[in-house]
Structure 1
């Protein structure tokens, strides 16, 4: 039975999400909403999305004015946001229902390439495991196929209302 269920989920639940649906699954708003589109989502397994990085991002005013680079912590936050979307979609819950996914840890974080205005930052997260609302994800952020960041991200699902 489990084999058939996982087959069903992986084969049927692949989906895309536009910004309107993303806003249903993330409590973040401008300027902290860092996912523009989801291009692939397989419940309980994988999510791929992207962030179009524009010179108009508010963080570029101070990081750094003459050589703008997206702060690494925001690349990590963007990865955490796709993790949250995957978690919410997998368990069929929404922030509007009083739930939130907190970023509670990150391990083995490595930044390999700067992210600059004009880049399309591709965000990928794979579920490594979930137990009692604690999720562990293997994550990668790439630009033009080149690795920008990799990390293990840990999120906790919590009821807040």
Structure 2
């Protein structure tokens, strides 16, 4: 079982503040699944305008957090991973948002490999706050060289 702290995450994802949306990977079984955390703070810059009197994490950023978690699973699973490679978001299906995510929540991000063919990945992803499902999506991604 693999765990990644923020330093290991920064080695694998190109995202940085304010767009890095995974704080820690608690469990990772290569080629199978990942469980990661995103702590939602009132200090997030998007809360200034979304919405000033009722701060809600934008759904598109929940999907981005899920995509970053899925990318980490792909990176760790890929045996030929190199520093010149990146995981690119290739598609999204069946995105659903079930409950608002607000400051103080801790998102539990789950990604499970549904299919893998060559450098293409399909993953079922879910986001929970505690035991409550707040979002889900089927995500597709591809691993490619950055220069290609």
Deviations 1:115-136 (A, max 9, x none): 0000000000000111121100
- CA–CA distance in 1 between the matches of 2:110 and 2:8? 18
Q: SS at the partner of 2:2?
A: coil
Displacement of 1:15: 1.4
1:45-124 aligned within 5 A: 45-92=32-79, 93-94=81-82, 97-124=83-110
TM-score normalized by the length of structure 2: 0.96
1:7-58 residue CA offsets vs partner (Å, 9 max, x unmatched): xxxxxxx111100000011010000000000000000000000100000000
Does 1:148 pair with 2:134?
yes
Question: Highest CA radius of gyration, 1 or 2?
Answer: 1
Q: Which ranges of 4 or more aligned residues in structure 1 deviate by more than 6 Å? A: none
Give the whole-Å Cα distance in 2 for the aligned partners of 1:47 and 1:122: 10
- Structure with a larger share of its residues in strand: 2
The answer for the alignment partner of 2:113 in structure 1 is 127
SS of residue matched to 1:158: strand
CA offsets per residue over residues 72-121 of structure 1, 9 Å max, x none? 00000000001100000001424xx1111111111010000100000000
Q: With the length of structure 1 as denominator, give the TM-score of the two structures.
A: 0.89
Aligned partner of 2:5 in structure 1 is 18
Higher helix share: 1
Q: Secondary structure at the match of 1:51?
A: strand
Aligned length: 146
Please give the residue correspondences for 1:1-40 in structure 2 after superposition, counting only pairs within 5 Å. 14-40=1-27
